[in-house]
Structure 1
Amino acid sequence: MSFPRTCTLATALLFAVATGPALATTAHTPDAQVPGVYHQQIGTLQVTALFDGTVALGRQELVGIDAGAVTRLLDHRYVPEDGKGLQTAVNAYLVQRGEHLTLVDTGTAQCFGPGLGQVLGNLRKAGYDPAEVDEVLLTHAHPDHLCGLLDAQDKVAYPNATVWLSAADAAYWLDPASTAGAPQGVRFAFALARKAVAPYEATGKLKRFGPRDALPAGITALDSHGHTVGHVSYRIDGGAGQQLLVWGDIVHFHAVQFAQPQASYEADSDRTAAIASRRRMMAQAADGGWWVAGAHLPFPGLGHVRREGEAFAWVPGEFAPLPATAQPTGR
C-alpha cells in the first residue's frame, strides 16, 4: 500500500482504518512478558543485558539516611512497592568482542525461589549457547551474582568458561570458617557460594585474582569493596573512546542512592567503604562519560551517570536499533 506524498499521518491512519480488516471482537490477554533481553552496541562491544527477575528490598534496609528523606526521594519516582518492599531488578551482562564472549555475573538460578533465575534461559533466547561463553566475571560472591554458575539441575551452566572472582571475596566467602563470624542474615550464602564454584574449581577453571593480576584482554578490575570485602567493578574497553563500567552492587536503591550516595544498604559489609566506592564509581563514570551497567538498576540497567551538584543522577540509555552489522548471532 502506498500514499501520495502530500498524505499526512492522520490521513493515512484514517485510510487504514476505513479500508483495513474489521477489528477482532475478542481481545488477547497476555500471560507473560517478552524475554528479558536487550542489546546495546558500545564501540566494538555487543552488550546484551539479561534479566534474571526482581527481588523486594524494604526501604527500612536503607541506613545513614532518615526515613522522611527516603520517603521524599521515593515520592513521584513510581518504584513499584508492595508489602515485601521496593521492586529491585537483578541483571547480568553478556559482552561480545568479536567471537569472544564474557558474562559478568550470572543471576540467582535456584537460590532465591520462583520469579528469578532467568539469566540462562534469556541468554539462550538472545541467540547464544551457554557453551560458547569464554569467561565469567563475578563482581562478588553473593548468591544473586554467582548461583547462576549452575543450571536448574545443579550442573555446570557454562562448561567451557573460566570463572574469575577476586581473591579477597574468594578467601572470605569460600572459607567455611568465615560462616560463624558472619552476621546471621548472610550465613546461608556461604554454602551457596561454595556449591556454585565447586565444579569449576575442581577442573581448574576458577581464577582468584588480585589487584595486580591480568584479566582477559580489554578488561580492568576496579576496586569497589564495601558491599563485600572483595567487591570489584569491571571497566571494559569498547574502543573508539567508549568504555563500559559493569559495577555490580554499587547501587541497590536507584531512586535514593544517586541523589544521596551516603545512604547505605543494610547488607553492606563495610558501609563506610561502600559509600566511598559508590562516590568514586559514580564520579569516574560521570566524568569519563562511560556507559554503566548495574545489576540492580531497572532493566536493562544500561545508561550513564551525570553529576548534580555534590550528588549524581541516573540517565537511562535511549532505546536504539542495532546496526545491521552488529546483529547478535552467537558463534
Structure 2
Amino acid sequence: MMSRKPLGQVPGIYHRAIGDIVVTAISDGYADAGIEPLRNIDLSEALLLFEEKLRPVRRASINCYLVHSEGQIALIDTGCGPYFGPTAGQLQRNLSAIGIRSDEIDAILLTHIHPDHSAGLTDVADGRRIFANARLAVHRNELAHWFDDVEMAKASDQDRRFFFDTAREQVTPYKDVVQAFEGRTEVFPGVLSRPLLGHTPGHSGFTISSKGEELLIWGDTIHIPEIQISRPEVTLTFDCDQELAAETRKKLFEEVSARKTLIAGSHIDFPGFAHVVQRRDGYDLLPEPWSYTMR
C-alpha cells in the first residue's frame, strides 16, 4: 500500500533560454487552499469556474526561478520553507537535483515578502542564512511595510504572526547585504525590477532581457489563473490594496497581450511560462508548450 506521505515525481526543474541568459524554473511544490479569501466574485460563481476548468480544489503551484547570467546565479523567490506542509518547501531538494548549492547563489531577488516567497531565506531552527553568500534585493516599500511597528499593530493576531513575524525572522539575518530598490532598476545582469504594486506595497516583477528576447516574471500578479485571467477584477483578502492590485493586473494584461510578452508566474502551473492573449470576451492564458530540450 502506498504511503500517505506525498511522493515526488521527477525533479521539479525546467530550463528556458532567454537569449544568452538561462532561466530555470524550480518547483517549491504546491499548496491546496480554499476560495474563501476571494473578493469581488460570488463564491458560487467561483466554484462554477473551477468546475469548468475540471479543478476540484484550488491548488497553487509555488514556483521559484534561477537566473544564470554572466557567470552569476540569482534566485527569484525562495519558496515556503517549512510553513506550508509536506507538499511544499521543496526548493532545496530541487536545487540539489541540478547540482546547485545554496552557497553558490550570488543574489536573491524577492518579488515580495509574503512567506510563500521569502520563508526559504533563513533556517528557522537556528536563524542561519541559508544563502550564505547572496545579497538580497527587494523593493524599498516592502521593507518599510513589514518592518513598520505601526502597520504591524494594525494587523490581526494571525496576520501579525504569519506575515509580519515571519517577514522579520526571514529577512533580518540579511540586513547587512540588502539592496533596497525602487522603480525600474538593474538588480542583476540582464534583469530589471518592475513595480507591480497592490498585492503588497512593494510587489515587483522582474524583466529578463537578452539578444532581443524578453521574459517577465510577474510574481503574484495572479494567484488563481482559473478565475483571475478571465476575471481580473477578482482580488483576495491578503492583497494589501485590493483596488490597486486589480488595476495593476488589468493594465499588465493589456500590455503583455498586446506585446505578446512571455511571462512566468509564481502560482501558474509549473513551470509557469505562458502568454496572455486577448479574446473578444476577455483574456486567456496559454501555457507555453513543454519542451524536452531547452529552447
Give the structure-1-normalised TM-score. Answer: 0.81
| 2:27 aligned with 1:51 | yes
Measured in 1, the distance between the counterparts of 2:182 and 2:155 equals 23
Give the distance between the partners of 2:198 and 2:169, measured in 1 at CA: 24
1:133 matched to 2:105? The reply is yes
What is the match of residue 35 of structure 1?
Answer: 11
Quote the RMSD (CA, aligned, Å): 2.0
Instruction: Identify the residue that residue 216 of structure 2 maps to in structure 1.
Output: 245
Deviation at 1:312, TM superposition (A): 1.5
| Partner AA of 2:229 in structure 1 | F
Q: Distance in 2 between matches of 1:209 and 1:127?
A: 30
Q: Which has the higher strand share?
A: 2
Q: Quick check: 1:176–1:190 contact (8 Å CA) kept in 2?
A: no
Contact kept in structure 1, 2:186 and 2:193, CA below 8 Å: no
The more displaced of 88-97 and 124-133 is 124-133
Q: Which amino acid aligns with 1:199?
A: P
Which of 132, 135, 141 is equivalent to 1:159?
Answer: 132
Does 2:182 correspond to 1:210?
Answer: yes
Q: Aligned residue for 1:95?
A: 67
Unaligned runs of 5+ in 1: 1-29, 327-331
Amino acid at match of 1:168: N
The answer on 1:180 being equivalent to 2:153 is: yes
Q: In structure 2, what is the Cα distance between the partners aligned to 1:125 and 1:177?
A: 43
Is the 2:26–2:91 contact (alpha carbons within 8 Å) kept by the matching residues of 1? yes
Shift of 1:108: 0.7
Structure 2 gap segments, 5+ residues each: 1-5
Other-structure match for 2:244: 273
CA distance in 1, matches of 2:153, 2:219: 26
Between Structure 1 and Structure 2, whose CA radius of gyration is higher? 1
Which residue type is aligned with residue 176 of structure 1?
D
Cα deviation, residue 60, structure 1:
2.5
**Corresponding position: 1:70 with 2:46:** yes
Partner of 2:37 in structure 1? 61
The whole-number CA distance in structure 2 between the counterparts of 1:90 and 1:130 is 19
Aligned to 1:301: 272
What CA distance in whole angstroms lies between the structure 1 residues aligned with 2:7 and 2:241? 42
Q: Aligned partner of 2:103: which letter?
A: A
Count of aligned residue pairs for this structure pair: 288
The corresponding residue for 1:15 is none
Kindly provide the CA deviation profile for residues 155-181 of structure 1, in whole angstroms up to 9, marking residues without a partner as x.
Answer: 211111110111101001123332111
TM-fit CA distance, 1:213: 4.9
Cross-structure match for 2:3: none
**1:17 match:** none
State TM-score, norm by structure 2: 0.91
Letter in 2 for 1:45: I
What SS does the aligned partner of 2:128 have? coil
Partner SS for 1:300: coil
Map of 1:320 onto structure 2: 291
